[in-house]
Structure 1
Amino acid sequence: METEKCTSCKAPLSEAGWTKFECPKCGSIIYRCHRCRHQSIPYVCQSCGFQGP
């Protein structure tokens, strides 16, 4: 099974503190590692291009 990766930095989600949620625009799954979440690193949905904090 392939490990999911952070949508922002592409790091494997192996450490505690990561999350996943639906894109507010299209419903695709967004993955965020703990570092990108805490530093509010922007992400871009791969499906629709929605940008979030």
Structure 2
Amino acid sequence: MEMVDRCISCGKGFVGKGFVTFICPMCDTVIGRCGDCREQSVKYTCPTCGFTGP
């Protein structure tokens, strides 16, 4: 799995609790999300395929 060090939604660096990385459900791109954006259901868009998720 590729390394990501920032949230795809807000750009915050991965520090503290709640950060996750996962594979885009439509392609093999690794996506990182911070706990705040996950908790608030901030949308994200995969930079490779354009998939948008909550």
Mark yes or no: TM-score above 0.5.
Answer: yes
Mapping of residues 7-26 of structure 1, within 5 Å: 7-26=8-27
Aligned to 1:52: 53
Q: TM-score, normalised by structure 2?
A: 0.88
State the distance in 1 between where 2:47 and 2:14 align.
Answer: 17
In the alignment, structure 1 segments of 5+ residues that lack a partner are: none
User: Partner of 1:46: helix, strand, or coil?
Assistant: coil
Deviation at 1:26, TM superposition (A): 0.6
State the distance in 2 between where 1:46 and 1:14 align.
Answer: 22
CA RMSD of the aligned region, Å? Answer: 1.1
Aligned length: 51
Deviation at 1:15, TM superposition (A): 1.4
Deviation at 1:52, TM superposition (A): 0.2
State the distance in 2 between where 1:6 and 1:13 align.
Answer: 7
Q: TM-score, normalised by structure 1?
A: 0.90
Question: What percent of counterpart residues are identical?
Answer: 43
In the alignment, structure 2 segments of 5+ residues that lack a partner are: none
